[in-house]
Amino acid sequence: MTDSRPTLAVGMVGHAFMGAAHSQAWRTAPRFFDLPLTPTMQVVCGRDEARVTEAADRLGWAETETDWRRLVARPDLDLIDICTPGDTHAEIAIAALAAGKHVLCEKPLANTVAEAEEMAVVAERAAADGVRAMVGFTYRRVPAIALARQLVAEGRIGDIRHVRAQYLQDWIADPEAPLSWRLDKSKAGSGALGDIGAHIIDLTQHITGERITEVSGQLETFVKERPVAAGDTAGTLGGGGASTERGPVTVDDAAVFIAHFTGGGLGVFEATRFATGRKNAIRIEINGSRGSLAFDFEDMNVLELFDASEPDETAGFRRILVTEPGHPYTGSWWPPGHGLGYEHGFTHQVVDLVRAISDGTDPSPTFADGLQVQRVLAAVETSSDTRSWQEIPA
Ligand code: SOE
């Protein structure tokens, strides 16, 4: 693609599932959206030389590095994209910001509140020098979710009374599914709670424009030991094939909690990897004083709206197909009715990040937003351990 626009040279750390999704986004964003800077897929970084070389070829990166410290120190890069497990986020992001690179960091922001606090402080300092940091809560950029936020902000459903949110997967419902880094607390921080619960915490706060103030929750690990993975398979959730050796699962399999929101509404949350038959169901229903909204990622191009001001005889949940040119993001894609998929949220994330960098504004969600989600996660964990309500510091 020949282009006279200034470039934004990207270096990405990690090249498994998230690395592939981010690569697709960097490649696609400038081809479908009018961007002020053209991202270049300069360097991909991974520890194993053979595997990172193969990934660079497959995903479209020009060069490789095997040490993230060398990547971050390269003067020819403008942005570092972090797609590694949570235990490395803080160190890489802080080093990258200190080196003057913009940062996109996968969710959850970190493995602990202390790490997230430090990241937020460093990011705020960097922002004063025009260096931007964003956390990858990509589902915010699903058009139906973006529309839901707009409708709430316009007052279409009134005051929020109930927030019902579920994130349902089943990829470890089989007790013989092997251990992977996602089941290791030292790498992942937590299990279903941080991996997918973090998304519904972010989404519900984003859509409502409100904050969770207090939680009471319960975590459960149903299968406490699993076969040790024989190898690490990039791009899969479960890791490599199983061996006969077994090891401990050190994270939660499922998390449930109830919550209070700043506007007085009540929330009910469920995040599980044991919802047999549910692959990636993110279900959100919000009931307000004037109407309701409902979303299900398994039908991700649709938002349901109930408007309580309509006559009882004809009122009902309306199915809005969120593919019109006037809907968020959709005008840059296909004609109405030709829906989008999982990967498009990542593309929209890149679009918003690149525009913010060019405009000199903070992209959202900021590291401070990521820290707030981290505080909710920690509060749910403490609540489960102590069987008590926990407040979330503002
Ligand atoms: C695994 O549960 C996972 O890949 C999450 O880590 C992602 O954030 C989510 O988009 C899909 O599921």
Residue listed under structure tokens 């990011």: 123
**Closest-CA residue to 91 (of 65, 113, 118):** 118
d(CA 137, CA 105): 9
d(CA 67, CA 96): 13
pLDDT 10s digits, 62-115: 999 999 999 999 999 999 999 999 999 999 999 999 999 999 999 999 999 999
- 104, 237, 252: residue to mutate for ligand 1 pocket, most atoms within 8 A of CB: 237
Q: Could you give all domains of the chain from N- to C-terminal order, each with its CATH number?
A: 7-138 (3.40.50.720), 143-299+301-340 (3.30.360.10)
Residue 180 in contact with ligand 1 by CB distance below 6 A: no
- What is the predicted pLDDT for the residue at 13? 98
Residue 253 in contact with ligand 1 by CB distance below 6 A: no
256 pLDDT exceeds 80?
A: yes
The minimum-distance atom of ligand 1 relative to the CA of 171 is 2
d(CA 89, CA 86): 5
Distance (Å) from CA 310 to ligand 1 centroid: 38
Residue 195 in contact with ligand 1 by CB distance below 6 A: yes
Distance (Å) from CA 100 to ligand 1 centroid: 29
The minimum-distance atom of ligand 1 relative to the CA of 273 is 2
Residue 334 in contact with ligand 1 by CB distance below 6 A: no
Is residue 42 within a helix (H) or strand (E), and if so which, with residue range? strand 38-45
Distance (Å) from CA 39 to ligand 1 centroid: 24
Distance (Å) from CA 196 to ligand 1 centroid: 6
Q: Which amino acid is at 394?
A: A
pTM across the whole model:
0.96
Q: Which two tokens stand for residue 148?
A: 């839901």
The minimum-distance atom of ligand 1 relative to the CA of 106 is 8
Those residues with Cβ within 8 angstroms of residue 248's Cβ, 6 or more apart along the chain or in another chain: 224, 225
Q: What is the mean pLDDT of residues 302-314?
A: 98
Q: Estimate the share of the chain in helix, then strand, then coil, as percent rounded to the nearest 5.
A: 35, 25, 35
Residue 169 in contact with ligand 1 by CB distance below 6 A: yes
Region of residue 100 (phi > 0: left; psi between -120 and 50: alpha; otherwise: beta): left
234 — pLDDT class (breaks 50, 70, 90): very low
pLDDT 10s digits, 8-65: 999 999 999 999 999 999 999 999 999 999 999 999 999 999 999 999 999 999 999 9
pLDDT 10s digits, 311-364: 999 999 999 999 999 999 999 999 999 999 999 999 999 999 999 999 999 999
